């Protein structure tokens, strides 16, 4: 996420602060998500606890701005190597779903993976995707990726994710 300017942050804050008394503590996460920040539940609890020490119901802009800066810093620190993560996903699919040993996986270099395996992983692991999101992704795969016998080219799938 690109760092929002203080003016942009204040504009979003004001959308939630209709009465000028601040935003409700329980809305901290919603307002952060409106700025494109996905804070963990633990971080949101930390922010709520800090805010409640000043006011039991509302957060003022100056305090919220501090939360935004901390959330941005935290998010920047957890940036990932996308290509490395995708290689790991591909190896995992080949090992756990196709039941290939590491040696077989290295030797076969199979690019095609089962669409059903990808859908299962995305609906069951990490940030789980909803059924609607999975169906939309399946439509996009069918429209832009090489597919053969219920399998999709993993390289094409990765390109789809990057877009």
* pLDDT tens-digit series, residues 5-52: 899 999 999 999 989 999 999 999 999 999 988 888 899 999 999 999
Query: How much is the average pLDDT of 130-150?
Result: 90
pLDDT value at position 161? 83
Q: How many CA atoms lie within 13 A of 126 on its CB side?
A: 9
Q: What is the pLDDT of residues 87-119, one digit of tens each?
A: 888 888 887 777 777 777 666 657 888 888 888
Q: How far is CA 47 from CA 8, 22, 66, 83, in A?
A: 20, 15, 10, 33
What's this model's pTM, rounded to 2 decimal places?
Answer: 0.49
């Amino acid at each position: 996420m690109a760092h929002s300017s203080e003016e942009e942050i204040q504009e979003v804050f004001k959308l939630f602060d209709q009465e000028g008394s601040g935003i409700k503590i329980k809305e901290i996460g919603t307002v952060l998500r409106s700025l494109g920040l996905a804070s963990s539940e633990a971080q949101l609890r930390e922010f709520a606890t800090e805010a409640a020490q000043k006011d039991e119901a509302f957060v003022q802009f100056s305090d919220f701005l501090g939360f935004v800066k901390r959330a941005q810093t935290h998010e920047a620190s957890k940036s990932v190597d996308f290509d490395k993560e995708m290689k790991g996903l591909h190896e995992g699919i080949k090992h756990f779903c196709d039941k290939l040993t590491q040696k077989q996986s290295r030797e076969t270099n199979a690019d095609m993976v089962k669409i059903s395996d990808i859908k299962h992983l995305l609906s069951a692991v990490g940030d789980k995707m909803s059924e609607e999101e999975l169906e939309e992704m399946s439509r996009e795969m069918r429209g832009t990726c090489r597919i053969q016998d219920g399998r999709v080219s993993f390289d094409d799938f990765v390109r789809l994710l990057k877009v």
